[in-house]
Amino acid sequence: MVPSAFVVVTALLLRLGSANLADESELPSEYGSLWPLPQSVNTSPELYRLSEVTFQIVHSPHSTASVGCSILDNAFRRYFAYIFSVSARSEGWAPATSETSGSSAEELRELQVTLTASDPECTQHPRSTSSEAYEISVAQPVAILKSENVWGALRGLETFSQLVYEDEYNTHLVNKTEIVDSPRFAHRGVLLDTSRHYLPVKVILETLDAMSFNKFNVFHWHIVDDPSFPYQSITFPELSAQGAYHPFTHIYTLTDVQIIIEYARERGIRVIPEFDTPGHTQSWKGQSNLLTPCYNGEKLTGSFGPINPTLNTTYDFINQLFKEISWVFPDEYIHLGGDEVNFDCWKSNPRITQFMQKQGFGTDYRKLESFYIQKVLDIVASNLKGYMVWQEVFDNGVKIKPDTIVEVWMESNMKAELSKVTLAGFTTILAAPWYLDYISYGQDWQKYYRTEPLHFNGTAAQKKLVIGGEACLWGEYVDATNLASRLWPRASAVSERLWSSAETTNLSDAYKRLSKHRCRMVRRGIPAEPLFVGYCDYEYKGL
């Protein structure tokens, strides 16, 4: 097929744009390879060298977590390995020259980590209100990382690891630096879909690593959906036995889930599960009398629609299931979905019709959906959990608690929806512009990077209600073979938009830093796809 003129011109423009950015990247960024860019960075040409033999990452004697904080002890070992195990050449501000040889630089012996809070949260899980602020001072002979709690320390360790680089003589160097940093938005998430394709636990753990490299702090686990139900419920084991692709090989056991939650905790990442109802539930066939039987006239078709909202047994089941989910997942929030409910099967079912008439709903099936969702919200609230919902729940007028988080996902009316939701006083996160399953040729990271979450009509008070956003990777065409390359470094553009200041918008500088950051992810074992032509000093070698 001969490509249209539009396709040819578009491809040419993409190539020209990419080439311009690549040409400008010959000079390094003044910020080296820092990603996402901290709020305040001051560097000096003064260099210090680090030796794998003598350098240590240690607790400061003044830290409130100097004893028995395993989350930091493990992070110290992890980041020591990131700094020294493989080459970091060309990722700092500038390589040493004969005039400023790294071998003649003063030695930096320690990075001392100081936590200041009386409860540094070493044994806790991160929360929506957890502070991630930190400060770094790199000066000879000791560098200092200071934060209130472990979550800020984890972010600071990632930043410090990004400051260290090698000269041409393989000497590890770091510039004299002062950094004061904290995230712009509190909720910075990545959504993975494990229903449309099963993702092995190993792949999820690798994604959590990559998320920590980019300072994401929420794993939105869209764990079940129409195609499969891989979550192995303790209370209702038939859900996965009948609903998973395979009842033994393609499931997440309680142990699997606990491993993922703890791995995420050690990296300062919350795990928010999504159990989407009443739609997207075709795989819930393991629970009898839950789904709505569909009719053709007066005859059953043998197919099923959304959850049947007219039966008391439905709510007994939901209550027991969400009690279990509330126990298994420690985060204070659960995502309840509520999007894209198809009313055709409900409309075909005579018992649903009778129920509608009895309730005074007429033929407005949105009222039936609201009836169901309201009951589910009350059940979840009774289990002392907060909830997140997709925007349709708000749009359909369901009575939701004041602390509900509404996730805006429809890009066509994104700005108007943000205005409406925040005007109603609800906390909001934005996903609409960051659906990474939509792929295109060229550097589409740029459009993700350019999106400003607060560009909508609203007061300052409304805009404070937007607490962040999520990069969403739905799984129709994604499994373990291509997840990492499709997610990274495209999601990295979202991470900087959600972490860094609103004034951090220079695409040329971002390209320089992101190219190096992508190579760093490759070096750490993440097969992130290239931005454009070029190479990494340490290329991905696979298994």
Phi, psi for residue 137 in degrees, rounded to 5: -130, 115
Q: Burial letters for 415-445: b for 16+ Cβ neighbours within 10 Å, e otherwise?
A: eebbbbbbeeebbbbbbbbbbbbeeeebbeb
Compute, in degrees rounded to 10, the torsion defined by CA atoms 159, 432, 393, 306.
-110
Separation between Cα atoms, residue 381 and residue 378, nearest integer Å: 5
Alpha helices in 91-177 (DSSP H): 150-163
- Write the single-letter amino acid at 24: E
Instruction: Say whether 269 sits in a helix, a strand or coil.
Output: coil
CB-CB contact of 334 with 275 (8 Å): yes
Task: Give which of 116, 70, 400, 431 is closest to 272, Cα–Cα.
Answer: 431
Beta-carbon contacts of residue 156 (< 8 Å; ≥ 6 apart)? 113, 134, 135, 136, 145, 146, 147, 179, 181
- 45: preceding bond cis by omega (within 30 degrees): no
CB-CB contact of 82 with 158 (8 Å): no
Q: Is 340 a catalytic residue?
A: yes
Separation between Cα atoms, residue 513 and residue 443, nearest integer Å: 15
Separation between Cα atoms, residue 13 and residue 458, nearest integer Å: 35
Alpha helices in 235-348 (DSSP H): 238-243, 254-265, 312-328, 344-348
Beta-carbon contacts of residue 195 (< 8 Å; ≥ 6 apart)? 222, 223, 224, 225, 226, 227, 228, 229, 230, 283, 475
Among residues 340, 369, 452, 503, which one is catalytic?
Answer: 340
Helix, strand, coil content of the chain in percent (nearest 5): 35, 20, 45
Question: Strand 187-193 vs strand 172-181: parallel, antiparallel, or unpaired?
Answer: unpaired
Phi, psi for residue 60 in degrees, rounded to 5: -70, 145
Q: Active-site positions?
A: 340
